[in-house]
Each structure stands twice: as structure tokens, then as C-alpha cells.
Amino acid sequence: MLARSSPDRRRRAPAGAVAAPLIAALSFASLACAPAPARAPAHDPAPLRSLRIPDADLDRGPRTVSAAEALRDLDDARYAFEQAYAGLDGRSPSPSTRAIARAEGALRGRAAWRPDELARLLRDLFGAPDGHLAFGHGGRAPLRSTAAPRRPPGPAPRRFARASSRARPRAAAAAAAPLPGLPRGAAPPRRPGHGPPVELTRGRDGVPVLAIRTFDSAAAAALAALPALAAELRRAPAFVVDLRGNAGGDYRFAERFALALTDAPLCALDEREVISVAAAEGRANSVRRRLARGDVPAAARPRFVEHLAALERLAGALRARPGAAAPRAELTTRGAVVRGQAAGALEGRAVFLVDRGCASACEMLLALVRQIPGALVAGQNTRGGMSVGEVALFRLPRSGVTLSLGTRAFRDPLGDFAELRGFEPDVRLDGADPAGDAAALARRGWPASTPRRGARASCPRR
């Protein structure tokens, strides 16, 4: 395992991110001093098998397979997990030898296996409390089965009582004053996650409400405006950032927004990245399928094509390096600090409104903003899908069953996040108008007794 610790290292893009070619070069260069992994792949006569999905099979339907074919697909699945899955901290990336032997026995016990049956067997074998891990298949009737068990319950945070209109503080008039360059007027209510990628409106009493509905690189043109919007908002007495329904994407957009709100140093997430041929090929498979499906806007296609080329170069370089019989290495970063880029501290009060739709890069944003004095998280629990990201896609060649697994592991620096449970809000909003309640909360402020994690003078040692 390779370890890196930097006092001010810029974070790289997790799940779904578009990485620059420099990332590929950095990952390859770091392998020069990499020791062999602690455990070589078990009973693997060809450690550098290819897991690249042929173009014609990227969305091809699955088929029923014989027991012998299912066993060979199981071996490919085991290889993908051993060589590409980052896994949760403290857990092995693949099942025990005994568990695999039981699955092999089950496969031998039947003459044929339908793809949905094989997907369920693999889910039960490789499943972990990981919000990104999934099994399924494509085709006319696609299937996606998540591996995560039911989320654990958490304590109920403080609930927010609606403010009386007769008790408006004097600061409400200032909050209602227009900001330069921001649209006036209240926005009509929208369903969480629906609408433009970035939308700035005014809520109750003129409080600015910035809806960020995705961090997907396909929306890069809109997301590039986030630092400028943060510079405007941070001077307001109160504002709301509505993250409901934001399933994540490229964390770099989220980080740039957070750093534009403050000048404080923030504890970055710990990161552990798998560097292997399988991980690079699996991430490339994900990008190639998005391009093949045509769900990337024309303006964003060059970014995706560039990212795909970088991943394919990385896979080729890793395959050609000496010592390829031990193909997996890990690059670990702990205790890093990112420093805010604003001219000063956050001047007003910021409420970040979340729900179960906030996941991945959206939750990584919360890991930063929870450290900023003057910021509060309100709403519902987030999804709890942050611990393992940068998703790789694999397709088992005989059955067509697909595996989606994360190649980077992350850890909340303050320890408030739990996978599948997510972040607990500081203030729970259960009313019919959570955006309006969040605006009122930002305008009037919150009691000093409200439980939250504030900024720390230094990052905790881990």
C-alpha cells in the first residue's frame, strides 16, 4: 500500500468524475516504489486477464447459462473484486475462500442459471453495506440489485419549529434585500432533483436559495459557475443551498463551491484508491457505456472522451509495467487539509437542505461544509452512499450479469458519517415546505444548543 500525506492537497474526483490525464500519470508514477500487495489473487493462473467490455456488449441483454459457465463467471467476479474493489475500511474486498466454495457448490447443484438468479447469488456472496455496490444486467428488461442491507436506525435530531410571522427578527429585512446579480422573486416549488442543474432563486422573505441538483460532469457548463455564486452568497445575511435529490458526480465541483464560501482550512476526506489494470478498465467501461447510450450532452462529450482516453492509457501502462504478476496497489491519503479560497470567513448563515437523494459527491460536500462556522445541515438523513466511490462497471462475459463497484474508499474526517445511514441533519425538517422552513431557519438563526459539528483548529490525527 502506498501512503501519501499532504498539508494542502487538492482532492481528486470520486465516483463518476472526469479526471485529467495528469491523474493517470500520477497514479502510474506512484507505482515505482510500490510493494507487492499483501495477498496475491487466489488460484489465479492469469493475473492480468482483461475485463474490458466489448463495444457490442456494453448494453447487450443477458442469457441463461450452464453451471460450468456460471462457475467461470463467478471466477471473473471474484477477480474483479480482488483487483478493483476498494471495499469498506476494515473489510476484505472479496469474500472468504470458504464462502466462495459454498457458492461454487450451489452453482454445481443446478444444470442452468437464469441471469437474475445468478445476480442474486453474486449479490448474496459479495454483498456489503456499501451504497454503490450493485449487481444486475442490461438489455430490454434491465435489472439493478443493490447489495446494501436495510439502513441502520439513527437518533432523531432536533426538529425545527416554524417561526411566527410576528416574531421576525430585525435581520429579516436585511435578508430580504436584493443581492447584486441575483434574480428577484420567489420560485415556484419544484420536486427535489428536478429542474436545471444549478438554479438561484429567492425563497421566503427574499432569502436566496441555490439549488444544486447534480455534480455530474455532463452539467459542467452550469457547475463551473458555482464558485462565483458562492462568492455572492457568502456576503448575504442568510441563504439556503438546496441539495435535495443531488445524487453526486464529480466531487471537484462540490469542493470548489465549499472552498469559495470560507477562508478557513478544512479537514479533507481520507482517501484510499485502488490502482490496477482492472480498476482502470472498469472505470473506462462506465464511461464508454454512458457515451454509447447517448446520455452525455454534446457539449460535455469532449470531457468524457478525454477521460476515457486517460483511463485506457493508464490501463495499458499498468499492464506493461514490470512485476505485473502482482497487479493491485493502493494509494492512501490521510490527514490532508484543503484551505478555503474566499477573502474571509463566511459572513452570514447558510442552511444546506438535504434529503435521502443526497449521495456520493453531495455527501462529500457536506463533510466539508459541516466544518464551516455559520453553516447548518437541515432536512432529512442523506442516502449514505459515500464510503466507496469512483464506480467501475464489469460484465461477466457468459451470462451478461453486471457488477458495479467502487474503486476508491473515503472516510469523513470528523467521523459523523455512516454508510447507508448517511449524515444526520443538525435540524430535522418534516413540514410540507422544507425549502421555506430552511429559509426561515437561515433568516432567524438557530439556538446555540443546536447539535452540530463546527470547524476545528486542526484536523484530528487518524
3-state SS of the chain? CEEECCCCCCCCCCCCCCCCHHHHHHHHHHHHHCCCCCCCCCCCCCCCCCCCCCHHHCCCCCCCEEHHHHHHHHHHHHHHHHHHCCCCCCCCCCCCHHHHHHHHHHHHCCCEECHHHHHHHHHHHHCCCCCCCEEEECCCCCEEEECCCCCCCCCCCEECCCCCHHHCCCHHHHHHCCCCCCCCCECCCCCCCCCCCEEEEECHHHCEEEEECCECHHHHHHHCCHHHHHHHHCCCCEEEEECCCCCCECHHHHHHHHHCCCCCEEECCEEEEEECHHHHHHHHHHHHHHHHHCCCCCCCHHHHHHHHHHHHHHHHHHHHCCCCCCCCEEEEECCCEEECCCCCCCCCEEEEEECCCCCCHHHHHHHHHCCCCCEEEEECCCCCCCCEEEEEEEECCCCCCEEEEEEEEEECCCCCCECCCECCCCEECCCCCHHHHHHHHHHHCCCCCCCCCCCCCCCCCC
- pLDDT greater than 90 at residue 28: no
| Residues near 157 by beta carbon (within 8 Å), at least 6 away in sequence | 424, 425, 426, 427, 428, 451
Percent of the chain with pLDDT over 70: 76
The whole-angstrom separation of Cα 227 and Cα 256 is 6
pLDDT of residue 452: 63
| pLDDT confidence of residue 5 | 39
Q: pLDDT value at position 194?
A: 73
CA trace torsion 171, 176, 181, 184 (10° rounding):
170
Query: Whole-number mean pLDDT of the chain?
Result: 82
Average pLDDT over every residue of 409-435: 94
Pick from 445, 439, 259: nearest CA to 346: 259
**Do residues 299 and 105 touch, judged by C-beta distance below 8 A?**
no
Contact 213, 197 (CB under 8 A): yes
pLDDT: which is higher, 460 or 428 = 428
Residue 172 has pLDDT above 70, yes or no: no
Inter-axis angle of helices 21-29 and 301-320, nearest 10 = 20
Q: What is the mean pLDDT of residues 107-126?
A: 97
Per-residue pLDDT tens for 345-360? 999 999 999 999 999 9
The closest of 442, 246, 257 to 356, measured between CA atoms, is: 246
pLDDT category, 193, cuts 50, 70, 90? low
pLDDT over 50 (residue 14) = no
Q: Using CA of residue 444, residue 449, residue 453, residue 457, what is the dihedral sign?
A: positive
pLDDT at residue 53, rounded to an integer: 97
Residue 162 has pLDDT above 90, yes or no: no
Question: Mean pLDDT throughout 382-391?
Answer: 95
93 pLDDT higher than 50: yes
Residues 144-149 have a mean pLDDT of: 77
- Confidence (pLDDT) at 459: 60
> Which of 31-45, 71-85, 128-142, 203-217 has the weakest average pLDDT?
31-45
The end-to-end CA distance of the chain, in Å, is 17
Whole-angstrom distance, CA of residue 397 vs CA of residue 74: 11
Q: CB neighbours of 53 closer than 8 A, spacing ≥ 6?
A: 285, 288, 289, 393, 394, 395
- Is residue 258 scored above 90 in pLDDT? yes
pTM of the model: 0.81
